[in-house]
Chain A
Amino acid sequence: MPDADGGGVTRVASRAVALDRRDVDTDQIIPASWLKRVERTGFGAGLFGAWREDPDFVLNRPGATEARVLVAGANFGCGSSREHAVWALQDFGFRAVVAPGFGDIFRNNAVAAGLVPAVVSEESAARLFAALAADPDAEVVVDLAERTVAVPSARVLEPFELADYARWRLMEGLDDIGLTLRHEPEISAFEVRRPAWLPGLAGSA
């Protein structure tokens, strides 16, 4: 599914929220009580639900709702596979998350849903956090074409990693299923070759 705007994303430029914590798990990003919803939208109010009860939490600071970039610590989005975590970040307004590493499932979910997961080094993250600590209102620019994240006012420019295919999909806003179905003949041919002992279930129980 393409991102919330229905198109691709090539560049995100806005103020940022700095969440300098490592191992932020998806239970924190969107608490389980929110997972009973059957929609993809409306999760923004639950984003970091428990942590937002603290008035000093970074998401409660002035201007946070205008931020499109989240800068976070290592292993962001570890734990539960819930894509609701990505939907909550997007619903709140974020278009890119910059961190020194992501949980594998979170990263895949982000790309699938159109949220940019930009992997930077620990050193780059430290420079970004320092720049945002010095000026919380600074503009941060995530550029997919260049694969860089910058804080121009602080003269910080850091490279990030994003696999070519993931970048292409994010920039084009493509429907992954549609891309895969171009390989339908290969899928059908594969199915004919599957061993006979493999399990299958007939119809509805």
Chain B
Amino acid sequence: MAGRLFDKIWDRHVVASPPDEPPLLYIDMHLVHEVTSPQAFEGIELAGRKVRRPDLTVATMDHDVPTKGLDQPIADPLAAEQIARLRRNAQAHGVTLYPLGNIEQGIVHVIGPQLGLTQPGMTIVCGDSHTSTHGAFGTLAFGIGTSEVEHVMATQTLRQAKPAAMAVTVDGELGPGLTAKDLVLGIIRALGTGGGVGSVIEYRGAAVRALSMQGRMTVCNMSIEGGARAGMIAPDDTTFAFLEGRKHSPKGKLWEQALDDWRGLATEDGAAFDREIRIDASALRPAVTWGTNPAQSVTIDDIVPDPAALSTPALRQAAERALTYMNLTPGTAIRDIPVDAVFIGSCTNGRLEDLRAAAEVIRGRTVSPRVRALVVPGSARVKAEAEAEGLDQAFTDAGFEWRSAGCSMCLGMNGDILSPGERSASTSNRNFEGRQGPGGRTHLVSPAVAAATAVAGHFTLPGDL
């Protein structure tokens, strides 16, 4: 049988496969942040264990860090304690930490690729479900819980039953103004929020190959929103060009060796998958979610759907609940829905390319007086690079707040939240009830649509302005 990218990576990481037990998989890189690690560090300490490979472990602060007033002490005592714990734990266990104030600090899934720590053929885990982001490099990367974080710290391995292999093939070409975000929301709409459970998705096809690395990260990032264990894209010249010269990318002779290896990772022609779905990229339009899970989306040209039209009672019930929570009426044109807040950032859309796309839309325009608009770069380095291009000025001139790096309003742990009843257009990844603050209502969109919506005060395309 022709080899698949997923199997090639899986097979080379099996340390042991004892009879009647799931295989033991070696982990090449373990990313750690402040929220899901304190109990794991405590666990290994209580058991008298140590971090087996601190050199394959890297930590940063992202989930509950403030995004303004960084010269002040952290106001939230619980967040301050969690952040102090990470400092202490990293120091005690010899783990490299990129703390607040360091140029490499940022959302863990933005800094891995930025540092060249994310490379093809690797296994990467993190106590965060959006670890699937790293699959954009032809990496097997997935989120784990705190007990598994502790297990990786102590053993550098994970016991994992092998997931199924699913192919999502995207034929054709994305239309003008269409982005990776619209593509992945379209994929999740087709898949359903639980459609990928138990599977690793390989994204294939012309439209995927045509994406930049930033776009590929956006697609793989949201694999979990379709329920998938991980998402991946075969490495190619786009991948290698992104990696060459980065801090932790191989250099000299090792770079040549690595390239030889990486070129052999792609799925071979004729490989079969456990399940395959096909999407026509040319049929997609900019996506906007209307409900409370990321599969509940339509295009910006559509209306809020009628739950009665859905196929099963469970889906109808979920849609009715979602519309009640979102305070939406079936039949309302998406473009007629006003928003109170716009959030541009997150591990989905907080990279330089995303900020550029949004800045292009708002340059010379003004944020609607009814809208509070926030830009939060994915990392301190992204922030610095954006400022070097003058993007900060473009955003602040238009009326956006320009913040420091972190997860921020994607999950609202750091005080950047919606008020109850407020409605946002957000470039993040989850529109769950209360995700951006208790009672907040989230609509997921691309950076360009978020920026245009900030100007208009309701959902809009840049071309409509």
The CA-CA distance from A198 to B53 in the complex, in Å, is 13
Q: Identify A200's interface contact among B39, B55, B257, CB under 8 A.
A: B55
Is the beta-carbon distance between B151 and A176 smaller than 8 angstroms?
A: yes
The CA-CA distance from A84 to B63 in the complex, in Å, is 15
Jot down 17 A-B pairs with beta carbons below 8 A, ordered by A: A22-B194, A28-B434, A35-B63, A35-B64, A36-B78, A83-B147, A84-B146, A103-B227, A104-B197, A163-B22, A165-B22, A181-B154, A183-B16, A186-B16, A197-B250, A197-B257, A199-B116
Is the beta-carbon distance between A103 and B197 smaller than 8 angstroms?
A: yes
Residue B462 at the chain A interface, CB threshold 8 Å: no
A166 to chain B, nearest CB (A): 9
Within 8 A of B (CB), among A24-45: 25, 27-28, 31-33, 35-40
A160 to chain B, nearest CB (A): 16
Residue B363 at the chain A interface, CB threshold 8 Å: no
Q: Which residues of B contact A21 (CB under 8 A)?
A: 317-318, 321
Q: Identify B82's interface contact among A36, A177, A198, CB under 8 A.
A: A36
B224 to chain A, nearest CB (A): 7
Residue B255 at the chain A interface, CB threshold 8 Å: yes
Is the beta-carbon distance between B38 and A38 smaller than 8 angstroms?
A: yes
B407 to chain A, nearest CB (A): 10
The CA-CA distance from A23 to B296 in the complex, in Å, is 12
Q: Which residues of A contact B49 (CB under 8 A)?
A: 177
Residue A6 at the chain B interface, CB threshold 8 Å: no
Closest A residue by C-beta to B63: A35
Within 8 A of A (CB), among B98-140: 98-99, 102, 104, 116-117, 119, 122, 127-129
Is the beta-carbon distance between A74 and B28 smaller than 8 angstroms?
A: no
Residue B141 at the chain A interface, CB threshold 8 Å: no
Top 10 A-B residue pairs of the complex, sorted by shortest distance between their CB atoms: A109-B145, A112-B147, A83-B145, A75-B194, A36-B78, A197-B250, A38-B38, A81-B143, A199-B248, A200-B55
Closest A residue by C-beta to B248: A199
Residue A93 at the chain B interface, CB threshold 8 Å: no
Is the beta-carbon distance between A80 and B159 smaller than 8 angstroms?
A: no
Number of interface residues of B (CB under 8 A): 97
Residue A195 at the chain B interface, CB threshold 8 Å: yes
Q: Which residues of A contact B172 (CB under 8 A)?
A: none
Known: A79-B224, A202-B55. A197 touches B258 (CB 8 A): yes
Q: Identify A86's interface contact among B18, B145, B157, B315, CB under 8 A.
A: B145
The CA-CA distance from A40 to B147 in the complex, in Å, is 10
Residue A1 at the chain B interface, CB threshold 8 Å: yes
Residue B433 at the chain A interface, CB threshold 8 Å: yes
Is the beta-carbon distance between B150 and A177 smaller than 8 angstroms?
A: yes
Closest B residue by C-beta to A27: B432
The CA-CA distance from A183 to B15 in the complex, in Å, is 9
Residue B71 at the chain A interface, CB threshold 8 Å: no
Residue A187 at the chain B interface, CB threshold 8 Å: yes
Residue B85 at the chain A interface, CB threshold 8 Å: yes
Known: A183-B15, A195-B258. A38 touches B81 (CB 8 A): yes
